[in-house]
Amino acid sequence: MDYALFTFDKEQWNEPLNIALDSTQTFIFFVSNQLSEEIDRPILTLREAFPNATIIGISTFASIINDEINSKNFYALVIKFEHTPLRLICKNTLDTDMFTLGGALVEELKEDDLAHIFLCTASVALNNTVLAYACNSTKKPVSISGGVASARNKQTSWIYANNRFSHTSVVGIGFYGKHIQFGLGHATGLERLGLTRRVTRAKGREIFELDGRAALSLYKKYLNTDKEILEYRDFIFPIAILDSEGGIAKIRSVFSYNAEQGSIIINDDISSNTYISFMTANFNKLTQGAYDAAQESAQYYQDSQKVVALTISCTGRYSMMSEHIEEELFSVKEGLPEDCLSVGFYSDGEINAKAHQNCTLRNQTMTLSLIWELEDA
């Protein structure tokens, strides 16, 4: 396995693209916070330099390169595998429901030697929880990782595959063979805030009442704000959906609201009589969670191989940590193998599931996918 990272800014690449990395077993993953129509030139030059490669891209609120937030540049990670075949499947959510789509995507990727699926979706508006659940239909357990596109300043998020952009697509990349290795890790660093609350009225992803009170009013109380209009970055408290024993079943971000209805909107379906709790965190616990995720992903890595880490964190964590956000990236680097390149993006939902674990959508989570190849397998 060989790799290179290229950044594009002010109409040029930071260095000439290395065409020796082109092959049918080359994976290119690019990330940008720009509008899709603003990045035609770097994509065109990527396609010209690597005509045989599998290329996907995703929009983001902010991108990650090692221990720095990269808010301006377009970057492309190019990995040339020696022993690992690849397959790309792209599905449009306008064609079918998310559960059927997820099952069909997995079915088309499924082979006896399928080792990992890297999964990206175009928008938080899609029902990505159902998509992740559908991916559990693989008969042979495989690891799955990926994330949901995000965007800056209320722009429309996008995904790129099969030489085109989409706001409604899901992309899966299958990695095949015994040589390819994925080390996965995830952690949050969140804790409960306040009382357990019962959802007394809800429909779909919209929560109207908690304990008989307007959900938005209660949420604003936790935010300690009387603002009439909330911005995206105001939603710093996610919620925990609790199981029948009061434990945390899953964490979901609050990403919008309806002032007229007095409701809050999360990125998962929720029903009345579900119990929830608001969640919060401090910097120390968030950075410790980032370190723990990195350590978990690296536990089976052997020092003799080149290794890359795909680092996907949540836009909600970005909001929580604000100007201290790079502290979690410092922690990730400390937990990773020495000389490991760490690149990624801030996502509106994270996917990180080891083989034999149920695939699920995560929120407010730092996720790591270490990638390396074994010479002998």
Q: Parse the chain into domains and list their residue ranges.
A: 2-187+284-373, 191-280
Residue 204 pLDDT > 70, yes or no? yes
Mean pLDDT of 115-143: 88
Burial (0-12, 13-18, 19+ Cβ within 10 Å), 248: middle
> 374, exposed or middle or buried, with CB in 10 Å at 0-12, 13-18, 19+?
middle
**Each residue's pLDDT tens digit, 312-371:** 999 989 988 888 889 999 999 999 999 999 999 999 999 998 888 888 999 999 999 999
Q: Of all residues in the chain, what percent are helix, strand and coil, respectively (each to 5)? A: 25, 40, 35
Does the pLDDT of residue 226 top 90, yes or no? no
Structure tokens at 28: 């290119």
Q: How high is the pLDDT of residue 347?
A: 95
pLDDT of residue 299: 93
Q: Does domain 191-280 have CATH number 2.40.30?
A: yes
Q: Tens of pLDDT along 277-300?
A: 999 888 899 999 999 999 999 998
In this predicted structure, what is the pLDDT of residue 255?
A: 86
| Interval 248-281: pLDDT, tens | 999 998 989 999 999 999 988 999 999 999 998 8
Over residues 302-313, the pLDDT tens digits come to 877 899 999 999
